[in-house]
Chain A
């Protein structure tokens, strides 16, 4: 009964989404009747509540083990712990799309609730466009991927179990947060389309759009980091990024989304790059949709692509064509009416932000090309070579270095016009500091001086140095230190925090890529292995039983310079239902290094093949993402986005 309620709630949500899409939009062209536009807000909230009912109905089916529902059978088993049964809701195709729809309706409800100060026409159009996306998505669910389908009258007594790779705390948090980011860009997209429809893409428009875009970007940054951490902890061989199509699908919107928040800054402050900002918003959301298409259509095979079905692919492709094709057509006809009166010189913050945008757009194109290359090459009949990690690393590492150089300069250069001489005065100290520290630090790597590490560290300390210099300049302008610090706005702290977060991530990636140690050895109980200053002793194995698996658990003592640090218990699990064997690594985490132990295969006489890694600074990569998200949060809470911004924008326009 409850799944049927969920199904009907989903149908009702679709009907409400149609209303949410059509009536407010129609009303926005008939201003004498406010009524039609006023439908937008209640419709968005109602749709959200209805999708919640559908979603909770599916959760209920999983918790209550209703194996008459096909999706529950495919994704769970009665021995699965309840928290994984709930997370299994989004472990497969149908449920993850339902989560997508839930998040989408959540964002449009949020716009409905927190946009009191926006002009009614703009709100009506934004909510209507988000409604249009929801119409397509819920229709997709209902038509091709209904999660509530029952197999009656005969149904299995138990489920086939969740893929063991997914039975990890990562599954609980990673998809919802990633989708919050992915789908959150639908708000920026709706702002862009509404702005293009109304022909109004000015500083006020950019200011309203900015906190929403940054919020989505924060979620996406966290979501990607969580995914990478999950792969590291769960795949059992210490890798943290594979340039897999599904990872790329989340990385591309992050790149263009990062470009978007920077070009929005320029549009808000100076009224420049209007058309470019609108285009970036469209592209970012399009890439999110493309990601869904790539994952769900089976066009590209990947470890993440658990379900693939050509009819579903065709539906998403048509949906993509309507949404992206339609918005790009609108862009083509409207963008040339946008004019910019603001002028800026070649050496100015505008130019540097443009540079940032170009680099990020090039990076996104490289990732897109690398992801689609097997497909393009196949269709064009140009030989069949797939590109692996070497392609991405060779092209993206130099781009990241260039980006860091521009980032440092951009932080101190003023809007409009900047004398190169004055900029050099400010920048030469951090530049010198960066070169010295960057060249010296790899000397501490115990005789393993890597020029690539030195290079990356120079750029990292360049940004750190500029951040400190700029902060000091700001603080010194006030009479006392405390007054100076107090005077700084949250959005400035946010910018510093996000930029430092970015370089922290760069440090993590550089150090973990260049200085990881790994050993693959045969260890008999009682034997020990030395790695750098660490020693790992194998104590033996024993059998343990988990909630839905049996495991062989190894016991390893880790010593550093003869001091005991910790005892690690990696496992080799066999899940009962699928009989899948899974390597569960054990990790001792630390600020400057992780020690990672994984059991291989049993050898003779109680010995095991064991893989041990020491990964320096690997946590920094994910810690940096947390700092970036925190920086975004600080920008969002800046008071200027919460003032009565509509009134203010009228002042701006009058001025």
Chain B
């Protein structure tokens, strides 16, 4: 009798697991993943001291990202969306947009090679090998892009690829407005 009861519970398990999972999926649906809110909006950039990808200078801090409105792009060589996004970043860099890169959990050699191969859109690039800065920024995945003003205040966070549309409709107006 007891064994029979246990068997019944065992057969209920798949259903319970699925119900649990669907709650997560529903919550995940809640918002557009490309516009995740960030607790950091309106806050200054988190403090950091991290090595650069080029090695010159050896290290940068948050103060080195000040002075101009800029995009901070979190990227990795193992991230296919970053590959897809790369031509757009090159185009932005060519148009004079200030781009800083945060290379996320990568091998230095891989990252350097990636930029030699595809071109380097970043004026400065730091290596977040342990993911500390990305953790402070609340990075959810790669690529992610933060818009900062000249004082280093975070204005906006974009998750996923920057498309022409995202740039024209969201990021560009933000950057234009802060320049004035």
List A residues at the B interface (Cβ < 8 Å). 165, 231, 235-237, 239, 242, 244, 275, 279, 282-283, 286, 293, 297-303, 308, 310, 313-314, 317, 320-321, 324-325, 328-329, 331-332, 335-336, 372, 374-376, 378-379, 383-386, 388-389, 518, 520, 580-583, 598, 600-601, 609, 611
Chain B 159-176, CB-CB to A under 8 Å as 1, else 0, gives: 111000000000000000
What are 10 pairs between A and B in contact, CB < 8 Å? A237-B117, A298-B32, A300-B33, A301-B160, A303-B81, A378-B28, A378-B140, A520-B117, A598-B117, A600-B117
Q: B96 interface residue, CB < 8 Å from A?
A: no
Task: Check B117–A383 contact: CB distance below 8 A.
Answer: no
Interface residues of B in 11-25 (CB under 8 A from A): 11-12, 14-15, 18-19, 21-22, 24-25
Contact with A along B109-121 (1 / 0, CB 8 A): 0000110111100
- Pick from A282, A325, A331: contact of B22, CB below 8 A: A325
Contact across chains for A299 and B80 when beta carbons are under 8 A apart: no
Chain B: CB-nearest residue to A519: B113
Max chain A Cβ within 10 angstroms of own Cβ: one of B76, B83, B114: B83
A317-B34 in contact (CB<8A): no
- Distance in Å: Cβ of A539 to nearest Cβ of chain B: 20
The 7 closest A-B pairs by CB, nearest first: A328-B15, A303-B80, A301-B160, A600-B117, A520-B113, A335-B11, A601-B119
Closest to A372 in B: B24
A385 touching B135, Cβ below 8 Å: yes
CB atoms of B84 and A303 under 8 A apart: yes
- B residues whose Cβ falls under 8 Å from a Cβ of A: 4, 7-8, 11-12, 14-15, 18-19, 21-22, 24-29, 31-34, 76, 78-81, 83-84, 87, 90, 105, 113-114, 116-119, 131, 135, 138-142, 159-161
Q: What is the distance, in angstroms, from A571's C-beta to the closest C-beta of chain B? A: 15
Q: How distant is the Cα of A646 from the Cα of B142 in the complex, in angstroms? A: 55
Docked-complex contact B22 and A379, CB < 8 angstroms = no
A317 with B29: CB separation less than 8 A: yes
Alpha-carbon gap, A366 to B28, bound state (A): 20
Q: What CA separation (Å) do A530 and B135 show in the bound complex? A: 42
If A321-B22, A388-B78, A611-B113 touch, whether A328 touches B14 (CB-CB below 8 Å) is yes
A317 proximity list for chain B (CB < 8 A): 22, 25-26, 29
B97 to A: closest C-beta gap in Å: 17
Query: Are A336 and B135 in contact (CB-based, < 8 A)?
Result: no
Kindly list chain B residues whose C-beta atoms are within 8 Å of the C-beta of A582.
87
**Given A242-B78, A244-B80, A332 and B28 contact (CB-CB distance below 8 Å):** no
Q: Which of B4, B15, B87 contacts A580 (CB 8 A)?
A: B87
Bound CA–CA A332/B8 (angstroms): 7
Which among A336, A518, A598 has the greatest number of chain B C-beta atoms within 10 A?
Answer: A336
- Given A279-B14, A372-B24, decide whether A301 and B131 contact each other with a Cβ distance below 8 A: no
Chain A nearest Cβ from B31, distance in angstroms: 8
A336 to B119, CA, bound (A): 62
Give the distance in Å from the alpha carbon of A378 to the alpha carbon of B39 in the complex. 13
Question: A303-B83, A600-B116 given as contacts; is B141 within 8 A of A332 (CB)?
Answer: no
**Interfacial chain B residues near A324, Cβ < 8 Å:** 18
* B25–A293 touching, CB < 8 Å: yes
Given A242-B80, A385-B135, A332-B25 contact (CB < 8 Å) = no
Complex Cα distance, B119 from A583, in Å, reads: 12
A376 touches B78 (CB 8 A): no
Q: How far is the CB of A296 from chain B (nearest CB, A)?
A: 11
Instruction: Say yes or no: A301-B159 contact (C-beta < 8 A), given A242-B78, A308-B33, A378-B140.
Output: yes
Q: Which chain B residue lies CB-closest to A330?
A: B15
Considering the chains assembled together, what is the distance between the CA atoms of A600 and B116 in angstroms?
7
Given the interface contacts A237-B83, A298-B34, does A331 sit within 8 Å of B24 by beta carbon? no
| Given the contacts A301-B34, A383-B135, A601-B118, A375 and B11 also touching, CB distance less than 8 Å | no
CA distance A581 to B90 in the complex (A): 10
Q: Pick from A328, A331, A376, A386: contact of B141, CB below 8 A.
A: A386
Indicate if the CB atoms of B78 and A313 lie closer than 8 Å.
no
Contact A313 B117, CB 8 Å, known A332-B15, A376-B24, A388-B78: no
| Interchain CB contact under 8 A, A385 and B131 | yes
Residues of chain A within 8 A (CB-CB) of B11 are 275, 331-332, 335-336
Contact assessment for B81 and A320 in the assembled complex, using a CB-CB cutoff below 8 Å: no
A165 contacts B24, C-beta separation under 8 Å:
no
- Which residue of A has the minimal Cβ distance to B32? A310
Contact B7 A336 (CB under 8 A): yes
Given the known interface contacts A336-B8, A379-B27, A601-B117, the answer about A325 and B131 at a Cβ–Cβ threshold of 8 Å is: no
CA distance A439 to B131 in the complex (A): 38
Apart from A297-B29, A375-B24, A520-B116, list 15 A-B contacts with CB within 8 A. Answer: A165-B84, A231-B80, A301-B33, A301-B81, A301-B159, A302-B80, A332-B8, A332-B12, A335-B11, A336-B4, A336-B7, A376-B24, A388-B78, A520-B117, A600-B118
* Bound form: Cα–Cα A293–B26 in Å: 11
The answer to whether A313 touches B29 (Cβ under 8 A) is: yes
Identify the closest chain B residue to A325 (Cβ).
Answer: B18
Q: In the complex, which residues of chain A have a beta carbon less than 8 angstroms from the beta carbon of B159?
A: 301
Q: Could you tell me the distance between the alpha carbons of A308 and B35 in the complex, rounded to whole angstroms?
A: 12
Task: Find the B residue at minimum CB distance from A388.
Answer: B78
CB distance from A295 to the nearest CB of B (A): 13
